[in-house]
Amino acid sequence: MKSNLQKLFTLLLSIGLTIPLLAQDKTFDDKINDIMAPITGFLGNLIFYPVTLGGYSIPFVLIWLVVGAIIFTVYMGFINIRGFKHAVDVVRGKFDDPNDPGEVSHFQALTAALSGTVGVGNIAGVAVAVSLGGPGATFWMIVAGLIGMSSKFVECTLGLKYRKINPDGSVSGGPMHYLSKGLAAQGKSGVGKVLAVLFAIACIGGSFGGGNMVQINQATQQFQSLLPADSFLALNGWVFGLVMSVIVGVIIIGGIKSIAKITDKVVPFMVGIYVLAALVVIGANISNIGWAFGQIIGGAFDPEAMYGGIIGVMIQGFKRAAFSNEAGIGSASIAHSAAKTDEPVSEGIVALLEPFIDTVVICTMTALVIIFANYGDYSAQEAFNATSTGGNDAGIKLTSSAFAQTISWFPYVLAVAVMLFALSTMISWSYYGLKAWTYLFGESNGSQNVYRILFCLFVILGSAISAKQVFDFGDTMIFAMCFPNVLGLYFLMPEVRKDLRNYLQRVKSGEIKRFK
C-alpha cells in the first residue's frame, strides 16, 4: 500500500510539473478544442438530437429519461411514494443483518451514491434553471425528482441482484452486470452484452469528463476566487489540481470501503451546512414563503414570455433535474451494489431517497434562496443573459450573490462547499469508472491501477485547462449511459415488480426481521 502511494505521488508530481509548460502556450486550450470538437459534435448530435414539440426543440435524451421515469413510476405502483417510509427505516439500520454479504452499510452506499450527484448541479444548475426558465422551473424540477425516484429504485434493485462478489470479498455491480446477466437469462445474451459494453464505454468517458475534469475545473475556479488575483496559486491552477489528484489517489486506492468512509462523513457535513444556510435565508424571509411558492406554481403554468412559455419552463426544470440527480443514468446502481444486504429490493428502496434529497429538498432550497433574493445582484433579464452564455460559472456567482443578500460572508463558505462537492463527486465517479473499466479489461491489480493513474492525471489536466469541448464531451458521455441502461430496464422491469411484491409481503409477514 505504502509503495503504491509513493509510486502514484512520484508519477503525478512528474506529470504535474509538465502541465505549466503546456499551459504557457496560449493556444493550448484551442488545440485541445480543435481535436475534441468533431468527436463532441458527432456524439452531441446523437445524444442531444432535437425533437420539435409544440414549436420547441427538446433534446431526445430528456424525453427518453422522463418517459422512462413515468413508466417505471406507474408500473411499480408509485413505489416512490409508498416505499418512502420503509426506505427511511432501512437507512436507519432497522433491518441491517450484520452477517449479510457486501462491503458497506445501506447508509454508506446512499452517501457514496449521493456524493456522485449532490454537487455543482445543486448550486449552479438550479440557478441556471431559474434564470432561463423563471421560478416555475423549480416546480418541474420537483416533479422530475419525484418520478426519478422510481428510476433509481429499478436500476439499483437490479444492480444488487446481479452483482458479482469477487474472491477477495470485493463487489462489482451496476448496469454492465444486470444488462449482460439479466438479459442473458431471458435468452437475449447478444443484446445484453452489446448494451453492457456500450454502457461501460460511456461510463468510463463520463468518469474522466463530467465526473472528473468538469468537477475539478469548477473547484479550481472557486479556489482561485479566494486568492489575490496576481498570486502564484491563482495564476497556476495546475498546482491545486496536483494536490487534489494526490488526495483523490490516496482515497480511491482503498476502493469502495475507503470512499464510503469519506463520503459518509463529508456528504452529511457539506449537505448539512448548505441546507442550514438555506434554512437561515428561508427563515429570514418566512413571511414571503407563500409569495415564493406562488411564483413557483404560477410560473410553471403561466410564465413570462421571456422564458419560452410552459414548454420552455418545463424543459429547463426537467433538464437541470436530470443533470443533478442522474436518475436513469445507471451510475448510482454501481455504488449501491456494494451494500451489505442479500435483499436487492431493500437497496432499491434506499436508493429512491437520492432524487428526493438531491432534487426535491436541496435544489428546491437553492431555488427559494434565489427567488427570495430576486436574483441577488442581478435583474431577471441580467440573470437570463448571464446564464445563457456563462453556464455553471455564472450560476455559481448568481447563487453566491443570492445567499449574500442575507448572509454576507456565505460566498466564502460556498466556495469551500463547491470544492468539497467536487471532491466527493470525483471519488464516487472514480469508482463508477473503475468498475466499468474492470468489466472491459479485467479485475487484475494492474488493470485497476492503470485506470486510477489515468483518473488522477485527468484531475491535473482538468484544473489546468478550460477547453469547453472536453467538458461538453464529459457531459455527453454521462448522458449516453442512459440509452443502454433505460432500454435494458424496460426488459427487466417485470422481474423487479415481481421481486418488489414478494419483498413487501415478507416485510409485512415478519419474515424479513427487524434487528433494531
Asked if residue 319 is part of any domain, the answer here is yes
How many domains does the chain fold into? 1
Query: Mean pLDDT for the chain?
Result: 80
Once rounded to an integer, what is the mean pLDDT over residues 470-481? 78
Cα of 130 vs its chain's centroid, Å? 19
pLDDT classification of 15: cutoffs 50, 70, 90:
very low
Task: Report the run of H or E that residue 91 belongs to, with start and end.
Answer: helix 84-91
Q: Average pLDDT, stretch 78-105?
A: 75
Residue 158 has pLDDT above 90, yes or no: yes
232 vs 468 pLDDT, higher one: 232
Residue 16 has pLDDT above 50, yes or no: no
Residue with more model confidence, 226 or 430: 430
Residue 431 lies in a domain: yes
Give the pLDDT mean for 391-410: 81
Q: Is the dihedral of CA 486, 490, 496, 500 positive or negative?
A: positive
Q: Please check the confidence at residue 152 and state whether its pLDDT lies above 80.
A: yes
The answer to whether 417 touches 118, Cβ cutoff 8 Å, is: no
Q: Is the pLDDT of residue 45 over 90?
A: no
Q: Which residue has the higher pLDDT, 17 or 105?
A: 105
Which among 2, 433, 420, 455 has a CA at the least distance from the CA of 249?
A: 455
Residues 6+ apart with CB under 8 A from 127: 366, 370, 383, 387, 394, 395, 396, 398, 399, 402
CATH number of the domain within which 468 lies: 1.20.1740
97 vs 27, higher pLDDT: 97
More confident call, 19 vs 287: 287
Q: What is the pLDDT of residue 216?
A: 83
Selection from 374, 412, 477, 426 nearest residue 116 by Cα? 426
**Choice between 153 and 165, residue whose per-residue pLDDT is larger:** 153
Does position 10 have pLDDT exceeding 60, yes or no? no
Residue 495 has pLDDT above 90, yes or no: yes
Here the cell at position 147 is 418520478
Going by C-beta distance under 8 Å and a sequence separation of 6 or more, which residues neighbour residue 14? none
Q: What is the pLDDT of residue 446?
A: 85
- Judged against a pLDDT cut of 70, whether residue 246 lies above it is answered with yes
pLDDT at 392 over 80: no
Whole-number percent of the chain with pLDDT over 70? 80
- At 493, the pLDDT band (50, 70, 90 cuts) reads very high
**Axis-axis angle for helices 468-480, 189-208 (nearest 10):** 150
Does residue 447 form part of some domain? yes
How much is the average pLDDT of 44-56?
A: 78
> Would you say residue 228 lies in a domain?
yes
Does residue 366 fall inside a structural domain? yes
What's the average model confidence in pLDDT over 425-437?
87
For 273-291, what is the mean pLDDT?
88
The answer for residues whose C-beta is within 8 angstroms of residue 2's C-beta and 6 or more apart is none
DSSP-derived pairing of the beta strands 171-172 and 164-165: antiparallel
User: Is 285's pLDDT higher than 80?
Assistant: yes
pLDDT greater than 70 at residue 103: no
Measured over the CA atoms of residue 48, residue 53, residue 57 and residue 58, the dihedral's sign is: negative
Which residue from 306, 282, 320, 290 is spatially nearest to 140, judged by alpha carbons? Answer: 320
User: How distant, in Å, are the alpha carbons of 20, 231, 243, 251, 391 from that of 237?
Assistant: 9, 11, 10, 21, 20
Task: Tell me the average pLDDT across 457-483.
Answer: 78
Containing domain of residue 431, as a range?
2-509
For position 12, what pLDDT does the model report?
47
pLDDT in the model for residue 95: 65
Asked if the model's pLDDT at residue 505 lies above 50, the reply is yes
Task: Identify whether 515 is part of a domain.
Answer: no
On whether the CB atoms of residues 248 and 430 are closer than 8 A, the answer is yes
Instruction: Say if CB 69 and CB 486 are below 8 A apart.
Output: no
Gap between the Cα atoms of 271 and 275, Å rounded: 6
- Which comes out higher in pLDDT, residue 484 or 374? 484
What pLDDT was estimated at residue 468? Answer: 65
What pLDDT, on a 0 to 100 scale, did the predictor assign at position 254? 66
pLDDT in tens, 304-349: 655 666 777 777 777 777 777 778 888 888 888 887 778 889 888 8
Residue 516 within a domain: no
Between 298 and 489, the higher pLDDT residue: 489
Residue 303 resides in a domain: yes
Lowest mean pLDDT among 24-38, 149-163, 387-401, 485-499: 24-38
Residue 153's pLDDT band, with cuts at 50, 70 and 90, is: very high
Average pLDDT over residues 191-210: 91
